[in-house]
Structure 1
Amino acid sequence: MGKRSVAGESGGCERMWLGIGSVKGGVGSTTAALELAYAATRRRVGRRHRRVAVIDLDPQAAATEAVEPASREVGVKDVFATRQQLSLRDVLVPTSWPRILIAPASRELANREVDLTPASMHVLREARDSEEIADLVDDVIIDIPRTGGRVAFSGLLATERFFVTAKATMWAFQGAEDMTYNALRVKGLGNDRLSVSGYIVSDYEESSASLRILNDMRARYGKLVCDPPIPRASLVPDALESYHTPCREFGDGDLSSVADRYQEIYDALLKRERETDGG
């Protein structure tokens, strides 16, 4: 059901594997992955805070840059290697963001599109199913590239709860449709745990055109559209890309509203998981 509980910890310990992605660029997928990871670390399992692993599958490595890994000697490319393959556990490294580990991305990850074997495409799912890193983290968040290639496919094979990101534009709405199709295709091809948990509309600025698209998305996806949308805040790139800082820690009021919305999205998901677990 997308989670496992560990006995002896107050309230249980939901093991959630979340995927974040879109087939369109510039719609906030990496921002969503990072902000949801940060939101998770603000919640508790018993007496301690939750711990998160971010798997960066994007060769541009924006998520990797933002969290400043302690080392880049190994990375997620080595998990997919056909020779001298490493486990996911082997490549997770600490970051400057407390309680967040990362499997770093690099430009070399793009080469895996050529040599990724069918067996290698399942390594992340196998890590999930074997609970290889269950003693290290509570949540795994996968930043899925928009390329739609083999690396992206491998990320979707491991995903249990998937969030599609979009902006309130027709172009991005079409991308959300395409990403939904890809996710459902992967579900039918070997990952029956995968479900679309929400559509995150980012960088939202009220206008008649954007409201029309938002209403179209609500009509299409119903309560899966995360409402209200993430408000537009021009300093988001400054916080994450320039200062490598979560929005909430950047010290700007506009960014607090962005952080609040991601926290609400994460909290709602965690609540649903716990209710399902309790039922």
Structure 2
Amino acid sequence: MTAKIYAIANQKGGVAKTTTTVNLGAYLAAAGRRVLVVDGDPQGNATTSLGVDPRSLSVSLYNVLIDRVPIQEALTLTDWVGLDLIPATTDLAGAEVEMARLMARERLLERALMPLHESYDYILIDEPPSLGLLTINGLTAATHGVIIPVQCEYLALEGLSLLLQTIQQVREVLNARLTIAGVLLTMYDARTNLGQQVAEEVCQYFPDQVFNTIIPRNVRLSEAPSYGQTILSYAPNSAGALAYRALAEEFMAREEKRSPNLVGNEA
């Protein structure tokens, strides 16, 4: 077993990157897969969303990247069997500056994850809302592509061209395997014409990559992180939970159809 590594990225904040990372991870784990969430955001929202207090940690992703601490020492269990975490603390905010002086700085995360490849089915990297070195590290480490959450709101596609340029540059220079594994519509409100218009626009922009599953705007999804829980444990019958369960099923179905020979050759 070799882990399939995905980066969940969008330099725009508030588009449900973390929500998608932790809840997709939870449903994959519930389906019997071994999943590791890597919190690559200095805000540490994936860490707290999985019930881990960053203040209680002595080792985090920062220590792995900057101090070269073995990643196994940062490995943290969650309340869900099969769902583990590499946590982030606010220390990670200083990593961008410190990484700049290191050799092969774009590959620090890729190298750090290598000892864990045989331990997991999926590794999901929650990227920060930026296109700096932390995001580059996540894109370089991704063996099976990047998932882009896009909120169904005004100017949803604004700035995505920069992300797409970054993905292209990483593919050309650092990671030839990098593809767009999927585009996920989030915060969808079927009651508004705007939501429908944005969904249509995104589907036109990414005709082959948009997931059929759409994540609705749902108050339970917003509440769950404050309790340190995924939506699967907090409100398993909510509309948000049903949507992420459907996403996990669609995601696994795509994985089964995906040919290894196509990796790196997809649009």
- TM-score, normalised to structure 1, is 0.84
In 2: Cα distance, 1:137 partner to 1:267 partner: 15
Tell whether the 8 Å contact from 2:3 to 2:119 is kept in structure 1 after alignment: no
Equivalent position to 2:132, from 139, 142, 149? 149
In 2: Cα distance, 1:244 partner to 1:272 partner: 34
Which residue identity lines up with residue 52 of structure 1 in the other structure?
V
Tell whether the 8 Å contact from 2:49 to 2:228 is kept in structure 1 after alignment: yes
- Alignment-derived partner of residue 181 in structure 2: 197
**Percent of counterpart pairs with the same letter?**
23
Alignment of 1:63 onto 2:46: yes
Equivalent position to 1:138, from 121, 133, 154? 121
Which residue identity lines up with residue 26 of structure 2 in the other structure?
Y
Tell whether the 8 Å contact from 1:59 to 1:106 is kept in structure 2 after alignment: yes
Offset, 1:253: 2.9
- Alignment-derived partner of residue 248 in structure 2: 263
In 1: Cα distance, 2:71 partner to 2:257 partner: 27
In 2: Cα distance, 1:177 partner to 1:205 partner: 24
Which residue identity lines up with residue 151 of structure 1 in the other structure?
L
Offset, 1:31: 0.5
Tell whether the 8 Å contact from 1:201 to 1:229 is kept in structure 2 after alignment: yes
> Aligned ranges for residues 241-252 of structure 1 at < 5 Å?
241-251=225-235, 252=237
Structure 2 gaps of 5+ residues are: 262-267
Question: Bigger shift: 174-183 or 49-58?
Answer: 174-183
In 2: Cα distance, 1:118 partner to 1:146 partner: 24
Deviations 1:165-187 (A, max 9, x none): 11123422123333222222211
SS state at 1:202 partner: strand
How many residues matched? Answer: 254
Alignment of 1:15 onto 2:3: yes
Offset, 1:271: 1.8
Displaced runs of 4+ in structure 1, greater than 4 A?
A: none
Question: Bigger shift: 157-166 or 220-229?
Answer: 220-229
Q: 1:78 to 1:261 in 2, by over 3 A?
A: same
- Alignment-derived partner of residue 62 in structure 2: 77
Deviations 1:98-135 (A, max 9, x none): 2122111011101011110242431222245xx41134
- Alignment-derived partner of residue 37 in structure 1: 25
SS state at 1:165 partner: strand
In 1: Cα distance, 2:201 partner to 2:247 partner: 22
Equivalent position to 2:219, from 234, 241, 259? 234
Structure 1 gaps of 5+ residues are: 1-5, 7-13, 44-48
Equivalent position to 1:181, from 165, 170, 173? 165
Question: Bigger shift: 146-155 or 206-215?
Answer: 206-215
Tell whether the 8 Å contact from 2:24 to 2:245 is kept in structure 1 after alignment: no
> Aligned ranges for residues 92-107 of structure 1 at < 5 Å?
92-107=75-90
In 2: Cα distance, 1:59 partner to 1:65 partner: 12
- TM-score, normalised to structure 2, is 0.87
